[in-house]
Amino acid sequence: MMMKRKTWALLTLAGILSALALLSAVVIAIDPFQVYRLATGYMPPIDNKTQVYANAGVVRRYEYDSAIVGTSVTENFRPSQLDALYGGRFIKLCTSAGTAYNHALLLDLAFRTHDMRRVLYGLDVYSFVGPLDKTGSEVPFYLYDSNPFNDVQYWLNRSVLGSFLPRCLRAWGQQQDDTIRDTMYNWAGKDEYGEAMLYNALFDEPQTRLPADRYVSACLDNLNVHVIPYITAHPETQFDFFFPPYSAAEWSNMESKGILDAMLTLRGLCYDTLCGYENVTIYDFSAREEWVKTIANYKDTLHYGEWINEEIAACMAAGDGVVTSRRQLDDATELLRTWGLDMHAAGRWIYN
């Protein structure tokens, strides 16, 4: 009797292990997120909902020598346009609501796997106010490291097995082509622009007001840990940082939250920290009046249409928008303060 129980237990264990091995083999063979190879037999699940998983394969397996790095305001850039403007081959390494840590994870893996010519980096000040280990959403770190053994969390992942493998099988026979570089994570055309952008506009009196230096320490830490090391370790790579053009209403939102001075301070801090490197150029589009005061350019107070991404790309390639001095940046910062305070005082959108 004891022998039968032992045999049954061993057979059960063997069955479980065989099932796990089979499931793992299927995930490795199909590889939904292209961690081991590019997808050739199906269209991979690359979209805004799968981004932190899909990025692990994109950064490893796609062919590129230049990258766009940033938050959701960089997702509508077209690498094909940047190829034509700059030469080389671009890829999007974007993370919606991403922090400096999110961006560093992608940069680290990009430099480990590719020779990088150029990095276009969106200086979204919101990305630099959190702790060093903060990410915008939960990240599968095991897909970004060099340890193959912890990939078991990928092989036996419930979402991969229950959702993404079936999605790949349904897309079997569909071939990805080079247009995927432009379409990945792109949200253009999915929202209304114009008056609809005001749904998240705030004109409230702040309950508390943060001091101007509230985020200085966190921002410096994030720059020194998550940005500067890549600049200094790769002098052969050109880094083009740009302040994105939030709508004028976003600065009113900051005033309503009591953080306007604290966030504006970070602009000068970023400039002072980055401007001294020979392989760094800094651009500022935040006070581009014809963009940020035109309500039709925005789907909310933060996010602008893809046509603005195209204009930003063209401006940077032409050297338009380069910040050449701290005074120039400070002048633009004062404009942002004025626009935000004026709109906040009026309690409504006051521009065209």
pLDDT in 10s for each residue of the chain, 352 residues: 555 667 766 666 666 667 677 778 878 888 999 999 999 889 999 988 899 999 999 999 999 999 999 999 999 999 999 999 999 999 999 999 999 999 999 999 999 999 999 999 999 999 999 999 999 988 999 999 988 889 999 988 888 888 888 899 898 989 899 999 999 999 998 899 999 999 999 999 999 999 999 999 999 999 999 999 999 999 999 999 999 999 999 999 999 999 999 999 999 999 999 999 999 999 999 999 999 999 999 999 999 999 999 999 999 999 999 999 999 999 999 999 999 999 999 999 999 7
Two tokens at 4? 């039968």
118 φ/ψ angles, rounded to the nearest 5 degrees: -150, 145
**Residue of 170, 73, 78, 155 whose CA lies nearest to 122:** 73
What's the pLDDT score for residue 28? 85
What's the pLDDT score for residue 8? 62
Strands, DSSP E only, in 24-89? 66-70
DSSP-based three-state secondary structure for 351 = coil
Phi-psi region of 321 (alpha: psi -120 to 50; beta: other; left: phi over 0): left
Two tokens at 274? 């980055």
Distances (CA, A) of 172 to 29, 38, 55, 161, 306: 13, 14, 21, 16, 30
What's the pLDDT score for residue 5? 67
Q: 206: which DSSP letter?
A: P
| CA–CA dist 274, 281 (Å, integer) | 8
Strands, DSSP E only, in 126-216? none
- Residue boundaries of the structural domains of the chain: 18-346
Say how far residue 48 (Cα) sits from the centre of its chain.
11
What's the pLDDT score for residue 278? 98
Question: What torsion do the CA atoms of 77, 56, 103, 84 make, to the nearest 10 degrees?
Answer: -30
Which CATH class name applies to 18-346?
alpha beta
**Residue of 220, 222, 246, 223 whose CA lies nearest to 298:** 246
Strands, DSSP E only, in 7-115? 66-70, 90-94
> Helices marked H in 227-325 — which ranges?
228-233, 248-257, 260-274, 289-292, 306-318
DSSP-based three-state secondary structure for 241 = strand
DSSP element (H, E) containing 243:
strand 238-243
